[in-house]
């Protein structure tokens, strides 16, 4: 029940296309859902996050869509660029503990 399942494992998108990564969870106590971006050899960095009181959050080209009833959330990257090529992790947590449960990760490659 503590798992967060992420798909796909890898994704190849043409420059200018839309990248979509999906995550699903079981624990209804989760109340914070961030996405982290990680470049090779670096630590992950917070990209965007959402709480379950809203269904969508947009920051620039990055949008989180949240479906509370389906217990799913997704990351959409509009107008994908080669510089977006990285590994993306979804995560979830409850309360203010900072203990994040991470998905398995998605390696995104944006082709020029």
Partner 1 sequence: DGGITQSPKYLFRKEGQNVTLSCEQNLNHDAMYWYRQDPGQGLRLIYYSQIVNDFQKGDIAEGYSVSREKKESFPLTVTSAQKNPTAFYLCASSIGGVPGANVLTFGAGSRLTVL
Q: Which stretch binds partner 1 (CB under 8 A): 12-20, 43-51, 57-65, 72-80?
A: 43-51
| Closer of 73 and 89 to partner 1 (Cβ) | 89
In SS3 terms, the chain reads as CCCEEEECCEEEEECCCCEEEEEEECCCCCCEEEEEEECCCCCCEEEEEECCCCCEEEECCEEEEEECCCCEEEEEECCCCHHHCEEEEEEEECCCCCCCEECCCEEEEEEC
Q: Which stretch binds partner 1 (CB under 8 A): 3-11, 13-21, 56-64, 71-79?
A: 3-11
- Cα dist. 91→6, 15, 19 in Å? 9, 26, 18
The residue from 11, 20, 24, 100 that contacts partner 1 (CB under 8 A) is: 100
Residue 68 in contact with partner 1, rule: CB under 8 A: no
Closest distance to partner 1 from the beta carbon of 44 (Å): 5
Q: Which residues bind partner 1 (CB under 8 A)?
A: 4, 6, 9, 32, 34, 36, 41-46, 49, 89, 93, 96-100, 102-105
């Amino acid at each position: 029940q503590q798992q967060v399942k992420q798909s796909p494992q890898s994704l190849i998108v043409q420059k200018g296309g839309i990248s979509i990564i999906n995550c699903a969870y079981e624990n209804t106590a989760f109340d914070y859902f961030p996405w982290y971006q990680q470049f090779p050899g670096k630590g992950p960095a917070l990209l965007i996050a959402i709480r379950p009181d809203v269904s969508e959050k947009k920051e620039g080209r990055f949008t989180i869509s949240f479906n509370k009833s389906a217990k799913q959330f997704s990351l959409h990257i509009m107008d994908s660029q080669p510089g977006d090529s990285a590994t993306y992790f979804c995560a979830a947590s409850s309360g203010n503990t900072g203990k994040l449960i991470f998905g398995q990760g998605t390696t995104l490659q944006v082709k020029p």
